[in-house]
Amino acid sequence: MTPFDDFIHSLASFITTFSVWWIVKLLFLLALLIYIAFASIIIRQISLMSKTLHTEFSIPIKMIAWIHLAAAILTFFLALLIL
């Protein structure tokens, strides 16, 4: 068998085993990664806000933001394991 025949055979086997669900899973994981980036931007914005405006709610808001980031990371790892 020539290398070209091997390539065609491997391509044909990939196409037959290809599933649309793999693309859905990858897009879902990509969306979760983008959400983790969003959660980290929220932490940065809250820290900048706390430096500018000092209130009694600064510490609870920071804690909520860190819990939010931890939940986003945990969700990504759970999705990585489940999917």
Model confidence over 18-34: pLDDT tens digits?
778 888 999 999 999 99
Residue 4 in any domain: the answer is no
Predicted local distance difference test score (pLDDT) of residue 20: 82
- Tell me which residue range forms the domain holding 69: 20-82
pLDDT digits (tens, 9 = 90+) for 51-68: 999 889 999 999 999 999
The amino acid at 12: A
Give the integer Cα–Cα distance in Å for 81 and 51: 38
Residue 46 in any domain: the answer is yes
Q: Per-residue pLDDT for 11 more than 80?
A: no
Residue 1 in any domain: the answer is no
Quick one: pLDDT band at residue 13, thresholds 50, 70, 90? confident
Quote the percentage of the chain above a pLDDT of 70: 100
Read off the pLDDT of each residue in 32-38 and give the average, rounded to a whole number: 98
Give the integer Cα–Cα distance in Å for 71 and 33: 12
- Please state the domain count of the chain: 1
Residues in CB range of 68: below 8 A, 6 or more apart: 39, 42
